Amino acid sequence: MSDDILLKVRDLKIGATVYPPGEKPHDIEIVHGVSFDLERGKVLGLIGESGAGKSTIGLASMAYGRGGVEITGGEVWVNGRDILKSPHSDVRKLRGGEVTYVSQSAAASFNPAKKIMDQVVEAAVEQKKFSRKEAEGRARELFAKLGLPDPDNIGDRYPHQVSGGQLQRCMTALALCPEPDLVVFDEPTTALDVTTQIDVLMAIKEAIADTGVAALYITHDLAVVAQVSDDIMVLRMGDTVEYGSTDQIINNPQEEYTQALVSVRSIEHEEKQPTQEPVLSVDGITARYKGLNFDVLHNVNVELHPGQTLAIVGESGSGKSTLARVITGLLPPRDGEITFAGRKLSPDLKGRTREDLRELQMIYQMADVAMNPRQTVGTIIGRPLEFYFNMRGSEKRKRIVELLDEIELGEKFIDRYPAELSGGQKQRVCIARSLAAKPKMIICDEVTSALDPLVADGILKLLLDLQKIEDVAYLFITHDLATVRAISDSIAVMYQGRVARYGSKSHVLTPPFDDYTDLLLSSVPEMHLGWLEEVVAHRKMESAGN
């Protein structure tokens, strides 16, 4: 039976050199002896949070270390030879020939200066697997199989001329073109919208089944990996937590950490009823960007009540971030008006008073670029205290410490720099900074999207707790429906610049749905086996019925 083992990894150890601020560079181990087997034609899911070492392990199956990463020990057997001991010329044949790679961001992984076809066939031709002509024919077949439009000609386009979801499929075609034995999928659908993800996921799954290729499927999303893999390995901080069949991991997880991953997003939040006057009311907003000849927002009307959360949910291009720009005054609307705390807001940022600015704060997706890397946490949180309340000295320090306690970090963080914080801690500091201004409302723009699920959960819980203490309203912009369920009191679903559905949480999430909301809700991966097939079959039935 050992002939069926395509990839055999034994006690794999991977190290890297780190350059911590203020310390000497030193070597650390990031993967501590991981072992697994992968049979031909099977799919193994590697799952874990950031820093778990899952991408690093995936790339090690091509004897590749990203950046300063180096494989320090163990064995990686592909097709019966240990590639860590093979000569470099052999490793080059393996890469792009026997093992290929699909990255998270196809947009960044395609060379912007070359046509898609040239890049898709390159490895197959270079590794002498096919002639250029054969490879192009194969590529067209794959384009068709992956559901790309105009498969005969799409290869003549440049990467910027196709959409993100299409490019991700082209990347899959690129990986399958040389007829490899193994494909490493590294978060191939993470950067996509949910409604696009479902199509790409299905395309990948069918392509795997049709070609009989084996795959390592790397993701942080357990619900996604449950749809495509035969076995799952749960990783944490470079160690194997649990390794078993997909069925066992999802339905009968043994380890506490796996159980936490399976049950993540279990926040219970009782929907509040709108009672008082709204703190924010957006009336008939229509807006467009300078230089465009079409509107990106059409007659948007929403209200947010004090101490409550309005979730603006939609996919990329739906206009949800544009709405935030209009509310903050960065983009004056063409029509409509915004009423905030009982007064009309100037459409333009320049016309807003300091009080307007103080009471309307913002938190961003990328916490690390929203902070000055050369300022300490204390300076960052203290700045609004000085600016809005003229606080100085011990009074300011006392308030900073209070805020640090509220975000569950504590006084010991006051002198740290952003680089010394984890992603979740950085976002907490950003939350404290916005709370320091004692705002009536905070716009949260995808604040948990860049975080791991468990960390994101912690941030959402914190935001809910703070809402109770500070009585602050949140305008919560997100593409993630699980987050919406967890935190919102009312919801506005946006689609192509319009509000497709709006109302209380229970109203918006209860059938009957409009077509778009139905599509959106049914596209969110669910954590049970066979979900993907069910949804796809259901949709086929519906379209046949129409």
Interface residues with other proteins (CB under 8 A) are 62, 64, 66, 91-97, 100-101, 103, 105, 108-114, 119, 122-123, 126-127, 157-158, 160-161, 174
Q: How far is the CB of 207 from other proteins (least distance, A)?
A: 18
Cβ proximity to other proteins: between 87 and 342 the closer is 87
Q: How far is the CB of 134 from other proteins (least distance, A)?
A: 17
Cβ proximity to other proteins: between 100 and 434 the closer is 100
Cβ proximity to other proteins: between 69 and 473 the closer is 69
How long is the chain? Answer: 546
SS (H, E, C) 280-341: EEEEEEEECCCCCCCCCEEEEEEEECCCCEEEEECCCCCCHHHHHHHHHCCCCCCEEEEEEC
Cβ proximity to other proteins: between 45 and 96 the closer is 96
Q: How far is the CB of 392 from other proteins (least distance, A)?
A: 44
Q: How far is the CB of 112 from other proteins (least distance, A)?
A: 6
Q: How far is the CB of 53 from other proteins (least distance, A)?
A: 18
Q: Which amino acid is at 178?
A: P
Question: In the β-sheet with 280-287, what is the strand arrangement from edge to edge?
Answer: 297-304, 280-287, 335-340, 343-344
d(CA 181, CA 78): 9
Q: How far is the CB of 192 from other proteins (least distance, A)?
A: 16
List own/partner pairs for 105-114 with CB under 8 A and 24 or more apart: 105/191, 106/159, 106/164, 106/167, 106/168, 106/170, 106/171, 107/159, 107/164, 107/167, 107/191, 109/171, 110/159, 110/167, 110/170, 110/171, 111/159, 112/158, 112/159, 112/160, 114/158
The sign of the dihedral angle between the CA atoms of 151, 155, 161, 162 is positive
**Three-class DSSP category at 395:** helix
* Alpha-carbon separation of residue 157 from 58, 191, 212, 411 (angstroms): 30, 21, 29, 55
Cβ proximity to other proteins: between 91 and 144 the closer is 91
Provide the 10 A C-beta neighbour count for residue 239.
14
Q: How far is the CB of 245 from other proteins (least distance, A)?
A: 29
Q: How far is the CB of 88 from other proteins (least distance, A)?
A: 10
Q: Output the six-digit token pair for 294.
A: 């079409």
d(CA 367, CA 430): 7
**Three-class DSSP category at 18:** strand
Q: How far is the CB of 41 from other proteins (least distance, A)?
A: 22
d(CA 342, CA 351): 17
Cβ proximity to other proteins: between 18 and 237 the closer is 18
Cβ proximity to other proteins: between 153 and 259 the closer is 153
Q: How far is the CB of 154 from other proteins (least distance, A)?
A: 13
Q: How far is the CB of 101 from other proteins (least distance, A)?
A: 5
Angle (CA) 298-163-57 rounded to 5° is 125
Q: What are phi and psi of 382, to 5 degrees?
A: -75, -25
List residues bridging with 15 in a β-sheet: 29, 70
Q: How far is the CB of 93 from other proteins (least distance, A)?
A: 6
The sign of the dihedral angle between the CA atoms of 404, 405, 408, 410 is positive
Q: Output the six-digit token pair for 80.
A: 């019966």
Question: In the β-sheet with 43-47, what is the strand arrangement from edge to edge?
Answer: 99-102, 182-186, 214-219, 43-47, 231-236, 239-245
Cβ proximity to other proteins: between 10 and 115 the closer is 115
d(CA 460, CA 367): 15
Cβ proximity to other proteins: between 85 and 392 the closer is 85
Cβ proximity to other proteins: between 64 and 513 the closer is 64
